[in-house]
């Protein structure tokens, strides 16, 4: 079978909640303390996966880690009366945003001829720093075939947030590509989560060709405006880079460097006059899945919130009416995730490989989606008030829910 791009979405865990844990993520901060709807959130995520399947795209998934995180509760001696923020960290369902699970370099880009995955340490946010051990176990299982190489995180001194700060341009997915790593510099009101030295270490580990590897700085003003990851303001697929005019610290220099390494580049830059940086971040226009459909037409899978912004709607109409490479705009409803700052692109990790080399337990088809939906409908809590986090009754319910999912998928080994 040919090499294809597979999107691996994170199944939304049964503890999905709004605890306001991510400084610099404006949606998550605005919704801190709100009641969440884990069942609806999980079904929305699953519907997005089915939408991709219906488009003829291969689809995979990852399962949520055990939450609450017992090792964290114990090592921090979190007991009754503890700071609610600490309790919420242990209960976070943030592993659903698999764009932050790892950085992936497909085999054609690597001197080793293997597909490399480096698990992200996510060290900038305490709740997210708890994700990597389970992610590592899961990736080692899903990608055990010798054509893959799964690496543990880079040292925690250097923050790494995975594929959310990484873009790839190529003629076709299976051809050698140019990989663009986007890092931030600290200094603004919010943390810069991706460190340059982490990106450089990942590129070295993956055996990338320096002539086809770029390191570019994110615009500090974009981080200050709420673009805590590059994928909030830019996305790439095949020959296309779709970016906001204020995404990079040096936009002209960035485009010139990419074009020098990849002359076939088709740049679609959205000017601030058409969509302001604030509107881009509010609507998550760029946190879209830019995908090549069978037949090679390109589609932009955007969150429904885009249609609520007159400026973004106008822009998208003109985009499709023009003669550019993006031929279709397809809205999806992931509102529960969006309220925590996670759009369609945050919910997926792209892996370019031969599907026959992936452990089939992590690949989705309609029948399996029906099974997963049944487990969610039956076992995922309908709603969670953040005040309930820490409750023994809720803990039993969410642990049982996850166990049911693992059993239905034959993945008890991750229990
Ligand atoms: O890391 N939100 C996530 C959203 C991640 C989005 N991912 C990408 N852009 N690729 C984050 O800020 C909020 C959880 C809370 O506050 O309860 C949260 O972790």
92: three-class secondary structure by DSSP: coil
Set 5, 161, 179, 246: catalytic member = 161
Q: Which ligand 1 atom is the nearest neighbour of the CA of 287? A: 9
Cα 28 to ligand 1 centre (Å)? 7
Q: Measure 341 CA to ligand 1 centroid, in angstroms.
A: 5
The CA-CA-CA angle for residues 38, 41, 46, to 5°, reads 125
Q: What are phi and psi of 352, to 5 degrees?
A: -95, 115
Active site residue 166: no
Is residue 317 part of the annotated active site? The answer reads no
Q: Which atom of ligand 1 is nearest to the CA of 193?
A: 1
Mutate to test the pocket of ligand 1, among 94, 192, 387 (most ligand atoms within 8 A of CB): 94
Helix (H/G/I), strand (E/B), else coil: 231:
helix
CA atoms within 13 A on the CB side of 33: 1
pLDDT by residue for the chain (415 residues), tens only, comes to 589 999 999 999 999 999 999 999 999 999 999 999 999 999 999 999 999 999 999 999 999 999 999 999 999 999 989 999 999 999 999 999 999 999 999 999 999 999 999 999 999 999 999 999 999 999 999 999 999 999 999 999 999 999 999 999 999 999 999 999 999 998 899 999 999 999 999 999 999 999 999 999 999 999 999 999 999 999 999 999 999 999 999 999 999 999 999 999 999 999 999 999 999 999 999 999 999 999 989 999 999 999 999 999 999 999 999 989 999 999 999 999 999 999 999 999 999 999 999 999 999 999 999 999 999 999 999 999 999 999 999 999 999 999 999 999 999 999 9
Residue closest via CA to ligand 1's atom 11 equals 22
- Residue whose Cα lies nearest atom 14 of ligand 1: it is 21
Number of the ligand 1 atom closest to the C-alpha atom of 125: 1
3-class DSSP state for residue 226?
coil
pLDDT at residue 1, rounded to an integer: 57
Distance from residue 61's CA to the centre of ligand 1 (Å): 18
CB of 164 within 6 A of ligand 1: the answer is yes
Q: What does pTM read for this prediction?
A: 0.98
Ligand 1 centre from 230 Cα, in Å?
Answer: 13
From 127, 229, 244, 379, the catalytic residue: 229
> Catalytic: 115?
no
Question: Does residue 340 have its Cβ closer than 6 Å to ligand 1?
Answer: yes
Which atom of ligand 1 is the closest one to the Cα of 20? 16
Alpha helix segments (H runs only) across 143-243: 196-205, 220-224
Contacts of 143 (CB under 8 A, 6+ apart): 115, 117, 150, 351, 353, 357, 358, 359
The Cα 300–Cα 228 span in angstroms is: 21
Which residue, by CA, sits nearest to atom 8 of ligand 1?
Answer: 346
For ligand 1, whether the C-beta of 99 sits within 6 Å is: yes
| Residue 346 CB less than 6 A away from ligand 1 | yes
For residue 402, the Cα-to-chain-centroid distance in whole angstroms is 21
Distance 244 CA to ligand 1 centre (A): 21
Q: Measured from the CB, is residue 123 less than 6 Å from ligand 1?
A: no
Tell me, using a 6 A CB cutoff, whether residue 124 lines ligand 1. Answer: no
Cα 357 to middle of ligand 1, angstroms: 30
| Ligand 1 atom closest to Cα of residue 164 | 10
The answer to whether 317 and 282 have CB atoms below 8 angstroms apart is no
């Amino acid at each position: 079978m040919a090499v294809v791009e597979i999107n691996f979405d994170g199944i939304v865990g049964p503890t999905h909640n709004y605890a306001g844990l991510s400084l610099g993520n404006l949606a998550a901060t605005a919704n801190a303390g709100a009641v969440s709807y884990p069942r609806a959130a999980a079904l929305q995520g699953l519907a997005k996966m089915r939408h991709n399947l219906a488009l003829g795209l291969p689809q995979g998934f990852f399962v949520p880690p055990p939450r609450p995180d017992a090792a964290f509760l114990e090592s921090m001696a979190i007991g009754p009366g503890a700071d609610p923020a600490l309790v919420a960290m242990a209960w976070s369902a943030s592993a659903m945003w698999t764009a932050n699970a790892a950085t992936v370099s497909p085999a054609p880009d690597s001197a080793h001829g293997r597909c490399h995955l480096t698990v992200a340490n996510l060290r900038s946010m305490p709740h997210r720093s708890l994700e990597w051990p389970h992610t590592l176990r899961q990736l080692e299982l899903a990608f055990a075939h010798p054509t893959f190489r799964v690496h543990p995180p880079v040292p925690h001194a250097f923050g790494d947030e995975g594929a959310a700060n990484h873009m790839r341009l190529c003629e076709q997915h299976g051809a050698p590509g140019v990989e663009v790593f986007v890092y931030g510099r600290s200094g603004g009101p919010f943390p810069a989560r991706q460190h340059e030295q982490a990106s450089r270490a990942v590129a070295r580990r993956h055996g990338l060709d320096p002539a086809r590897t770029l390191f570019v700085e994110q615009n500090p003003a974009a981080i200050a405006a709420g673009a805590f990851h590059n994928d909030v303001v830019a996305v790439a697929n095949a020959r296309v880079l779709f970016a906001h005019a204020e995404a990079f610290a040096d936009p002209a220099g960035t485009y010139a460097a990419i074009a020098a390494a990849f002359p076939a580049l088709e740049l679609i830059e959205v000017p601030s006059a058409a969509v302001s940086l604030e509107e881009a971040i509010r609507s998550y226009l760029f946190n879209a899945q830019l995908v090549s459909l069978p037949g090679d037409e390109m589609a932009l899978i955007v969150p429904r919130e885009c249609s609520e912004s007159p400026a973004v709607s106008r822009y998208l109409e003109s985009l499709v009416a023009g003669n550019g490479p993006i031929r279709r705009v397809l809205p999806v409803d992931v509102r529960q995730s969006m309220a925590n700052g996670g759009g369609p692109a945050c919910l997926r990790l792209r892996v370019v490989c031969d599907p026959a080399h992936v452990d089939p337990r992590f690949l989705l088809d309609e029948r399996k989606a029906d099974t997963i939906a049944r487990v969610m409908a039956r076992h995922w809590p309908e709603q969670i008030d953040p005040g309930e986090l820490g409750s023994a009754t809720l803990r039993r319910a969410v642990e049982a829910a996850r166990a049911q999912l693992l059993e239905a998928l034959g993945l008890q080994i991750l229990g």
